[in-house]
């Protein structure tokens, strides 16, 4: 399915649309960034200023790389339930396309992260022609590890990232088999 021009979607799935964040999303993003149960993996909640800086860094990524963390919205309602996407991430092996996300706590455990990540994998391999993707995941973040493993990623290595140990989950283009039109962009 082709992404809707009207909605501004960059990537769509059966239940979700991923679109560029806009300044008007601040309150919805702030709700996520102020929740300690969501943000512990980032070292703690973000201040209002740090959320503004984080959003601006994604606006800059859209201009530079064409990707970044997008607004994850429910296709039917348009409600922003998270942020996620593809970041061209500096790592110990150069710049690598990383898939990451933050899902609002009241929408966790419903398969949205797995669905969003799978659609981003498709976008990375089919649209960006990436040779691999990674996800940087803290070792104690079992839910994100399960999402990565459900989507076929496996641990490639360990590295320090933002002064915290992370597992680098990886999936190579040679492993990719396109789903039958399950997503659009």
For residue 177, what pLDDT is reported?
A: 84
Q: Which residue has the higher pLDDT, 12 or 178?
A: 12
pTM exceeds 0.75, yes or no:
yes
- pLDDT value of residue 4: 42
List of E strands, 94-177: 94-103, 132-137, 154-161, 164-172
2 pLDDT more than 50: no
Say what the pLDDT of residue 180 is: 54
Over residues 43-55, the mean pLDDT reads 96
pLDDT class for 145, splitting at 50, 70, 90?
A: very high
Contact yes or no for 101/111 (Cβ under 8 A): no
How does the average pLDDT of the chain come out, rounded?
92
- CA–CA separation, 175 and 166 (whole Å): 23
pLDDT of residue 3: 45
Contact 104, 32 (CB under 8 A): yes
Does residue 125 register a pLDDT over 70?
yes
Whether residue 33 contacts residue 44, with contact meaning beta carbons closer than 8 Å, is answered with no
Please state the domain extents for the chain: 9-131
Q: Say yes or no to pLDDT of 80 above 60.
A: yes
- The residues near 108 (Cβ < 8 Å, ≥ 6 apart) are 143
Q: Using one digit for the tens of pLDDT, what is the confidence trace for 166-182?
A: 999 999 999 998 765 44
- Between 182 and 119, the more confident residue is 119
Structure tokens at 158: 């360990």
Does domain 9-131 bear CATH number 3.40.630.30? yes
């Amino acid at each position: 399915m082709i992404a809707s021009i009207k909605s501004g979607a960059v990537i769509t799935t059966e239940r979700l649309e991923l679109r560029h964040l806009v300044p008007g999303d601040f309150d919805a993003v702030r709700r996520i960034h102020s929740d300690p149960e969501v943000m512990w993996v980032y070292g703690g909640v973000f201040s209002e200023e740090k959320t503004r800086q984080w959003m601006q860094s994604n606006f800059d990524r859209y201009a530079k790389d064409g990707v970044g963390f997008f607004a994850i919205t429910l296709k039917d309602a348009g409600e922003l339930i998270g942020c996620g996407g593809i970041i061209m991430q500096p790592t110990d092996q150069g710049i690598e396309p990383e898939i990451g996300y933050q899902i609002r706590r009241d929408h966790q455990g419903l398969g949205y992260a797995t669905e969003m990540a799978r659609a981003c994998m498709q976008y990375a391999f089919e649209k960006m022609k990436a040779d691999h993707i990674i996800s940087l995941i803290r070792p104690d973040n079992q839910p994100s590890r399960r999402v990565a493993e459900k989507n076929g990623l496996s641990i490639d290595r360990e590295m320090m990232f933002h002064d915290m140990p992370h597992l680098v989950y990886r999936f190579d283009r040679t492993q990719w088999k396109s789903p039958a039109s399950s997503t659009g962009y």
